[in-house]
Amino acid sequence: MRDEVSLSLPPPAPVSAVENIAATGTVGDPNDAADADACSSAPPAAASLDDPAYRSFIACLDYLDVNDVERIKTALDYACRAHVDQTRLSGEPYITHPLAVASVVAGWRMDADAICAALLHDVLEDAGIAKSELAERFNPAIAELVDGLSKLDKIEFSSYQEAQAENFRKMMLAMARDLRVVLIKLADRHHNLHTMSAIRADKRQRIALETLEIYAPIANRLGLNKMFRDLQDTSFCLLHPLRARVLARAVAAFQGDNKELISRIQSSIRHKIAEVGIQCAQVFGREKSLYSLYSKMTHKHRRFAHIQDIYGFRVILPDIPSCYLALGALHTLYKPVPGKVKDYIAIPKANGYQSLHTTLIGPTGAPLEVQIRTGEMHHVAREGVAAHWLYKDAGRSGADLHIRTHKWLHSLLEMQSGDSSEFFENVKIDLFPDEVYVFTPKGHIINLPHGATPVDLAYAIHTDVGNCCIAARINHESVPLRTELKNGDLVEIITAAHAHPNPVWLGYVRTGRARSRIRHFLRTVHNEESAALGERLLNQELLHRGVSPGKVPAAAWEHVIKAGGNHSAREVFTDIGLGKRLAEVVASRLLADDTAFTASRVGTLTVRGAEGMAIQLAKCCQPIPGDPIIGSIKKGQGLIIHAHDCPVIRKSRSHEPNKWIDVEWEPDPGRLYDVRIILEVENARGMLALVAAAISQSGSNIENLTMEGDAEKHCSLLNFILQVSSRAHLAQVMRNLRRIPQVMRVHRVTAHGE
């Protein structure tokens, strides 16, 4: 497998001294393979002064002072002793892996603490060393970094997916506190991918797929373009070795066949830029990565021969004005493709990337893509946030990137409510942005993922704006909230103080932040409503037994709370409201009468139908005030209200009578309810207007309307969903409709159209 990968790709882009270590042939990594390496008798893994990997590692520490280098050597010696009896699956000493990871980190010119943490990143998991020992031996900062990189191996999970999600959450939250955690993790994953030939094929593919879905997008989100491309290409080779090898050969053949043409285009670009007075331009060709070519072929269903932009060019210039001047010069050299000019200098990407992009029609008629940027932008484009350490003169763009990155990292903290799988899902959504840039009325630019809606923008501005959002205007035009935003849209969010999120929004929001905030609100409101319903049900049950709710002893409550695994009486109420516990059972236990609950029945419950999610009107029969009703507690859903004569529940009522609760309407519920009616009318001009006028005069609203024609009977069926306040109100509406001469029949539709 490894031979195929080596043949199918050019050598992976070196990340500082790691290339020297990777060349030693170290293979197999237990850390990210989810299993620890089998410990076997092995020679001491102490670092040797004659070891090329060791010499290369020490050589790349030349930017640190002597004291820091000594600390790193101490950490290396400690790691050697911790892993002394451990080998990798290939048989190599285990220390080769931490040493390679530390070399990548040192190549980014990170601080001594980060390099020490990279050397020690496996000692908590694989050597059984305590976090407190690391803090005492080195310092608390290093201990925190190592802990953030360690998996939760002491907790039992029900599935691999659950363990993966929880470990990912731990890493991302540690990353939000300290960016160095994810940089070390990416270096760790990078070395693992390049040394996997000894790992079982199914595990190797699982790790490669996880890298494509999670770690490569994280590298891209942080602007680590070189790392991002290498993770993608190496994972692609591990997942599809034959396809990668064939594609690599095709790319090599293309380069050989077009070598003279590529050289001629480079020379033309260089000469044209010199004509406008820019003498120090660097022009070089760049080939698209294997994975990006493969993705384009699969997404567009094209063969390699039909992909035209296989090769591109990059122009590096001294300053920003030169970039725009060069862009104009190139547009006079070759014709630009309309709509393919992108200015990422004025509006940088979310990961800090800046460049001018233009697509030109080359001398052969094929399109060629050119990127124009400054040297500083080039550094940031390759190394992303690592440029902060790598290039101390990264300037304003580096600082802006750091600020932008920390904003994204801290937004992760807002998404951690709920379970780990939900958090995992929300972060994965944010890792595939394909940005759209929109403007607020104050002129602020906000980047959102492709397909984002005004609701996503509202939550990007502030959680309170999202929660109170009721409408939006795009370019001064009112639009539905599900409208997809486009580049350059001017978007205004309209809010109302008493508005709240709609569960329907979850069907079309695109950002993890919006999805997380909506779910959090709905979960909180649902629990509050369920607690209120549960308290009402329990109080009525206690009163039915002749006991005032306030007279229940505190000791009885404490016993019930502890026995049910709850933390408070409110949680007991919530469980009752959600149908997880029966009010009769809780009341019996509060009164220390465990045999009485089967014969007891709660008294009649009064409902308005507007309580919220904890009390819901059944969709099958759509009961309205005036209809005799009955309720059923459904686990996890609360109280569902049905009409007494609803045929859907007929069987359940006869077989499980104890699950049903008598309910009645509040005398004046004070709201409107949906009800469906069908009119059979003659085909006549103005018929719909007459019907709509009659409904309006009756004080009812039309929520929905569909029509069906019957040519044989010369009539039409009008299906209305109306809003009425009660059964009496509906009767008045139907009387007014029957007074219209052309109306042949009117009837209400209940369960399943009956």
The catalytic residues are 125-126
Residues constituting the chain: 754
The residues near 206 (Cβ < 8 Å, ≥ 6 apart) are: none
Cα 670 from chain centre: 40
Q: What is the DSSP string of 18-87?
A: HHHHHTTT----STTTTSPPPB------PPPTT-HHHHHHHHTTTTS-HHHHHHHHHHHHHHHHHTTTBB
Q: Count other C-beta atoms under 10 Å from residue 467's C-beta.
A: 17
Please tell me the distance from the alpha carbon of residue 254 to that of residue 293, in angstroms, as a whole number.
13
Contacts 24+ apart (CB under 8 A), 401-409: 401/223, 401/351, 401/352, 404/350, 404/351, 404/352, 405/179, 405/222, 405/223, 405/351, 405/352, 406/179, 408/221, 408/350, 409/175, 409/176, 409/179
Please tell me the distance from the alpha carbon of residue 353 to that of residue 344, in angstroms, as a whole number.
7
Three-state DSSP at 417 gives: coil
Decide the pairing of beta strands 615-617 and 638-643: parallel
Please tell me the distance from the alpha carbon of residue 169 to that of residue 504, in angstroms, as a whole number.
27
- Locate 651 and state its tokens: 């069987």
Decide the pairing of beta strands 356-361 and 342-343: antiparallel
Directed axis angle between helix 583-590 and helix 512-544, to 10°?
60
- Cα 7 to Cα 50, 234, 242, 494, distances in angstroms: 30, 12, 10, 57
Q: Count other C-beta atoms under 10 Å from residue 324's C-beta.
A: 15
Q: Count other C-beta atoms under 10 Å from residue 201's C-beta.
A: 10
Sheet with 701-710, side-by-side order of all strands: 701-710, 715-724, 673-682, 743-749
Decide the pairing of beta strands 367-374 and 311-317: parallel
